[in-house]
Structure 1
Amino acid sequence: MNEQELTRNLELLRSEHRDLDAAITALSEAGSSDQLQIARLKKRKLRLKDQIAIIEDTLLPDIIA
């Protein structure tokens, strides 16, 4: 993938991550008894966070000082 595609993918992943965060918060505040659903959403959110970190590392390589 080129830099433009990576940047676009990064924005989509960040958006989905925010949406999951909002969904988890809403379910938790509503007193949802579906803990399995909340756990699945949290797992998905963690996978997205890992994917975001990989893309960010690709776009912003380490600078050796």
Structure 2
Amino acid sequence: MDDRPVRTEIDTRLETLRATHRALDERIAQLAAQGSCDELELQRLKKRKLALKDRIMHLESARIPDIIA
């Protein structure tokens, strides 16, 4: 069974999620640097960034093949 199409799909999804994660990180830094930012918006962005990180970790673990002991 060939896993290449699945891995390519996962890799593409990971790239997209990582780019979104970086963009959120930049936005959070930008808001924090302003000083007079909306704390609620900042909290929401941080929560969304954490959720993206969880999805990234889940997809990365899905790329590792199961090993039967």
Shared topology, TM-score over 0.5? Answer: yes
In the TM superposition, 1:23-62 aligns within 5 A as 23-61=27-65
Q: Any idea what the Cα deviations from partners look like across 1:15-48, whole Å, max 9, x if unmatched? A: 0000000000000001133000000000000000
Mark the runs of 5 or more structure 2 residues left unpaired by the alignment.
Answer: none
- Rg bigger for which structure? 2
Listed as ranges, the gaps of 5+ residues in structure 1 are none
Q: Could you tell me the TM-score, scaled by structure 2's length? A: 0.83
Q: What number of residue pairs does the alignment pair up?
A: 64
Q: Which AA in structure 2 matches 1:29? A: A
50-59 vs 27-36, greater mean Cα deviation: 27-36
Q: Quick one: which amino acid aligns to residue 39 of structure 1?
A: Q
- Residue type of the partner of 1:44? R
% identical aligned pairs: 48
TM value normalised by structure 1: 0.88
